[in-house]
Amino acid sequence: MADIIIKNGSILTMDSYELTHGVVVIENGIITEVSESTEQYADKIIDAKGSVVMPGFVNTHTHAAMTLFRGYADDIPLDEWLKDYIWPAEEHLTDEDAYIGTKLACLEMIKSGTTSFADMYIHMNDVAQAVKDSGMRAALSYGLIDLGENRSADVELSKGKQFVLEWNGEAEGRIITMYGPHAPYTCSEGFLSKLKKESNHDNVGIHIHVLETESELNQMKQHYGMCSVNLLDRLGFLGPDVLAAHCVWLSDDDIEILRGRGVHVSHNPVSNMKLASGVAPVPKMLDRGVNVSLGTDGCASNNNNLDMFEEMKTAALLHKVESLDPTVLPARQVLEMATTSGARALGVKSGVLREGCNADVIIVDMNKPHLTPLYDIHSHLVYSASGSDVSTTIVDGRILMQDYEVFCMDEQDVLDRARTAATGLLERAKF
């Protein structure tokens, strides 16, 4: 007896580009069958008529609790945004703020079709608890900085290690942990080398910002005589266990280093546009075989949301206009970045509907005016659909939302608590 059978839907497995009609069978959190029909019975039958059944999105770079800063300090350069607004405000964040901010992020992602995400932030025990309570899947890392006032490399590394060991494999395996050095310009060489050794010892990955801005590029060249990628490579830091966010200011040689080391990249087009950081050379990276996924970044530096549909559309359009080539980043390739490539970057068996993979599944309601008529499903999902078209979200075989109704948390309670937390934060930080 299966747990769930999804029937009558059009299935986009991401194993192939074909859209087929059939069933998806789920048992014990795993996809056990994807076929035209099944002889099995299930405790729960979901009728997906008029909808597309597909893998959930994998958002490979977030700062989830920053939902509490949604709309705060917009239209400001990154350095000023961080130093004058975000970092001072974050000093007033409490554990409860981080918990409810992450819960709000999880609610938003569940409602818009994201089933897994990679997060780097502070108060990570509370972030992890919110993920556990929400039912989502996540790769979590404590954001670590050892350069600056009152920063100790040993203390920071201890924080990161304690979190890694405490939470890795928790929530029935839905939570994995990573080390999270903020960036090469906020972390010393010695600290990065120590952290790499610890990540190898603990057999976990590393999540780091790399060359997000031209300012970082110039700063690194002035201080080290080389850019961030070359410094990290010299330290023996880069490898297939590294998830590098942004990677905007890369040279051709940098791209070759990332490819050769098997580094995974998280492309955050909306954030890069909003902060005027630049345009990452994604087509070049993809052409050379770098695994490039998609992330939203924190919604305070995004379009103030965590909608991966919006991220896909922006990625496709940005690189077309940047290259003056309408064939660059076609819809199918962008859809891969948001699903299979993201899962590969996090090392999770998701991002595809295949027997033996995690049952991280979404159902997109195609019976909408803006999705009619339907000629090319990939085109519609990238250019026409939005997060509000997701009717059902399943993670690890558990139905978190069905027919637009959220079951894994009290939606109104989360909204009310988030508003209260934001008000309290405003009063304490006086911003």
Mean pLDDT of 154-177: 96
Alpha-helical runs (H) found in 225-281: 228-234, 252-261, 269-274
- Residue pair 168/204 in contact by the 8 Å Cβ criterion: yes
User: Looking at residue 17, what is its pLDDT?
Assistant: 76
3 state SS of 204: coil
Dump the DSSP string for 101-166: HHHHHHHHHHHTTEEEEEEEESSHHHHHHHHHHHT-EEEEEEEE--SSTT--HHHHHHHHHHHHHH
pLDDT in tens, 314-363: 999 999 999 999 999 999 999 999 999 999 999 999 999 999 999 999 99
Quickly count helices (H) and strands (E) in the chain. Answer: 16, 17
DSSP per position, 353-396: --TTSB--EEEEE--SGGG-S-S-HHHIIIII--GGGEEEEEET
Rounded-to-integer distance, Cα 297 and Cα 233, Å = 24
Task: State percent of the chain over pLDDT 90.
Answer: 88
Q: Is pLDDT of 182 > 70?
A: yes
373 cis-preceded (ω within 30 degrees of 0):
yes
Higher-pLDDT residue of 300, 107: 107
Q: Are 152 and 146 contacting, i.e. CB atoms less than 8 angstroms apart? A: yes
At 113-148, the pLDDT tens digits run: 999 999 999 999 999 999 999 999 999 999 999 987
Which of 201, 200, 261 lies closest to 230, judged by CA?
A: 261
Of 10-19, 40-49, 184-193, 398-407, the poorest mean pLDDT is in 10-19
pTM of the full predicted structure? Answer: 0.97
- Predicted pLDDT of residue 335: 98
Residue 404 has what pLDDT? 98
Q: Alpha-carbon distance 59 to 307, whole Å? A: 9
Q: What is the pLDDT of residues 277-313, one digit of tens each?
A: 999 999 999 999 999 999 999 988 878 999 999 999 9
Write the DSSP string, 295-347.
Answer: ----TTTTTSS--HHHHHHHHHHHHHHHHT-TTSS-HHHHHHHHTHHHHHHHT
For 97-106, how does the pLDDT look when each residue is reduced to its tens digit (9 = 90+)?
Answer: 999 999 999 9
Residue 24 pLDDT class (50, 70, 90 cuts): very high
Mean predicted confidence (pLDDT) in 143-161: 87
Is residue 431 scored above 70 in pLDDT?
Answer: no
The reported pLDDT for the residue numbered 419 is 97
Beta bridge partners of 57: 114
In this prediction, residues 377-393 reach a mean pLDDT of: 98
Handedness of CA 220, 225, 227, 233 (dihedral sign): negative
DSSP code at position 83: I
> Does residue 247 carry a pLDDT above 80?
yes
* Mean of pLDDT over the chain: 95
What's residue 150's pLDDT?
A: 64
The separation between CA 417 and the C-alpha centre of its own chain, rounded to angstroms, equals 24
The predicted model gives 42-49 an average pLDDT of 96
